[in-house]
Amino acid sequence: MTSATVSRQASSGLYIGGLIWTLVRTDFKTRYHGTIQGFVWALMKPLTMFLVLMGVFSFIFASDPAYRVNLIVGLFLWEFFAQGTSVGLLSLRAKGFLISKAKFPSWIVVVTSLANALITLAVFWVVILATLTLSGHVPSPLASALFLWYLLHLTAIVIGFSLAGSVLFLKYNDLNQVWDVVLQAGFFVAPIIYPLSILPERFHKYLYLWPPTPIIQFARQVLIAGTTPSLKAHGLLTFEAAIVLAVGVWVFRRYAPRAAEYL
Amino acid sequence: MSAGRAAAILGVDKVSKTFLVPSVRRESVREHVMDLFRPRPADRLPVLQDVSFAVRPGETLGIMGRNGSGKSTLLKIVSGIYQPDSGRVTAGAPITPILELGVGLNPELHAIDNIFLIGSVLGLSLREIRASIDEILAFAELERFANLKVQHYSSGMSARLAYAIAFKAVREILILDEIFAVGDEGFQTRCKNRYRELRAAGHTVLLVSHSPLIIREFCDRVILLEQGRIAIEGDPGPVCEAYIDVTSHRPIPETEPAAVAG
């Protein structure tokens, strides 16, 4: 027994890895009933949404030949943001049965809850790539690298919102409803179903404050328009993502030690 | 005593904890927005006041007290699940809390997935978990139900599973809350045997129980909590007698801090 104790202390890194893997696996199992069909079924919602929006809005924006590709890139990036932050917000309360019984680093619960949204995004990336290729926009290596760079920023933003939301939801038990409203409004604030250019130029800088907007716009530029945002624009994006992540970490560190007491 | 404190593996120093129980509870954004300018009435419920004790390596310290005397809150603070308002807990070794673990299982998963989940939360590596699945199922007598979702288990079955996992994951210091009250006679005997093994291997234990029999049998020293303070500290015999006095002679107050603390 004593030797086991010693080896366990020595392998705390291993234990964190095992914990992350177990949490991701159990999340996948409980959400999709452990089957691939369950996972495919969960992909139907954003796919249906895409088909409906495309059916309706490509008539309205019929003059824009790139409208469909722009829509699919924007919609799937948005889907990751919306799904990730919603699940992240619920994550600590959903795992309340664990955090009230044992002490372990609870940020792991929040970060691993995003795994399913990431898997969904990876699958959608295949769809996006197919659409791009079919429409003659095969991304160059530079465009792909920049797109990955934006995804990294988006993930940091989602983690920031999730960390803050997860602990605040323990204190305010209707925060999920508030967040649903924010997401609903945010869907239209972000230029997903419309091109940003239809709005007057003077509003653009405010729309860029909503974190999904610059991600979606930059991704469209490199993947579809074939242009690269300026260095300054990239700096501002990194700055915005860093602020969101830092605020999220700060809020989480402030409330997480007492998380079990709010349950 | 001072020599004992110096060699302590677990020290609790002047720990106090108060729960704020608002007479009007605001738990939502809506309530906060609506009541922004109204003062917030709240009752302060002191659950623990200036609690200090030390446990030496290999020692079993018993904790007794009536419902609402602060035992569960104290265990959660020592385990690091709750934060004390003042005072500190110093632990010289990792702690495994075995609280009312039956509720710690995920009902949507079957036994083996729950073993992975609880085992990894309690600090076991995946390899250690894989190696001990059979042993855990045997200890809980659930081999036949390994692939049944825990939501179909009886309460006794899920409690047995939870304790079997926790007993496998024990680190240096063990915190047990009413452990020997779970399961049937056979399971209780296995728990006691496992506990004796751990004790013989030199583990330090904090043991909460309402049963003077258990306390007398297993503890080296006992503290009696009364309204969040240590009323008596000493050998099991005298403290158990004091506990019986307290529970039989005095009426139980209407407010029960532990229950409110949830």
Residue range B50-73: average pLDDT? Answer: 92
Is pTM, for the whole model, over 0.90? no
Q: pLDDT value at position A211? A: 95
| The pLDDT of residue B87 is above 70 | yes
Are the C-beta atoms of residues B9 and B95 closer than 8 Å to each other?
no
**CA–CA gap between residue B120 and residue B88 (Å, rounded):** 27
How far is A157 from A148, CA to CA, in rounded Å? 14
> A11 burial class (0-12, 13-18, 19+ CB within 10 angstroms)?
middle
In the numeric block, which tokens belong to residue B94?
A: 């990792």
Name the pLDDT band for A2 (thresholds 50, 70, 90). Answer: very low
- How many other CB atoms are found less than 10 A from the CB of residue A205? 9
Q: Is the alpha carbon torsion for B156, B162, B164, B167 positive or negative? A: negative
Task: Name A44's Cβ contacts closer than 8 Å, sequence gap at least 6.
Answer: none
The beta-carbon neighbor of A21 closest among B123, B126, B197 is: B126
Spell out the domain ranges in chain A: 37-262
Q: What is the pLDDT of residue B257?
A: 46
Residue showing tokens 């920031």:
A160
Euclidean distance between CA atoms B137 and B112, whole angstroms: 9
DSSP B107-139: TTSBHHHHHHHHHHHTT--HHHHHHHHHHHHHH
Query: Which chain A residues are closer than 8 Å to B198 by Cβ?
Result: 1
SS3 assignment, position B173:
strand
> B119, B128 in Cβ contact below 8 A?
yes
Smallest CA–CA distance, residue A259 to chain B, in Å, is 8
Task: Quote the ipTM score.
Answer: 0.82
Please provide residue B63's backbone torsions phi and psi, each rounded to the nearest 5 degrees.
-125, 125
Mean pLDDT lowest for which of A44-48, B55-59, B93-97, B232-236?
Answer: A44-48
| pLDDT at position A57 | 84
What residues of chain B, 119 to 178, have a C-beta less than 8 Å from chain A? Answer: 120-129, 170-172
Structure-token pair, residue B122: 């309690």
Give the burial string for B68-98 (b: 16+ CB within 10 Å, else e).
Answer: bbbbbbbbbbbbbbbebeebebebeeebbbb
**Can you list the positions of beta strands (E) in B57-118?**
60-65, 86-91, 95-98
Contact assignment for B27 to A172 by CB distance below 8 Å = yes
Separation in Å, CA of B30 to nearest CA in chain A: 8
Lowest-pLDDT choice from A18-32, B18-32, B241-255: B241-255
Give Cα B198 to chain centroid, integer Å. 17
User: Amino acid identity of A81?
Assistant: F
- Percent residues over pLDDT 90 in chain B: 42
The pLDDT of residue B206 is 93
**How many angstroms separate the CA of residue A170 from the nearest CA in chain B?**
9
How far apart, in whole angstroms, are the C-alpha atoms of residue B225 and residue B67? 10
Are the beta carbons of A160 and A246 closer than 8 angstroms? yes
Q: Calculate the average pLDDT of chain A.
A: 89
pLDDT by residue (tens digit) across B203-224? 999 999 888 988 999 999 999 9
**In whole angstroms, how far apart are CA B169 and each of A33, A227, B120, B240?**
28, 56, 9, 30
Answer yes or no: is pLDDT of A145 > 80: yes
Residue among A209, A236, A211, A233 at smallest CA distance from A221 = A233
| Owner of token pair 């992540």 | A245
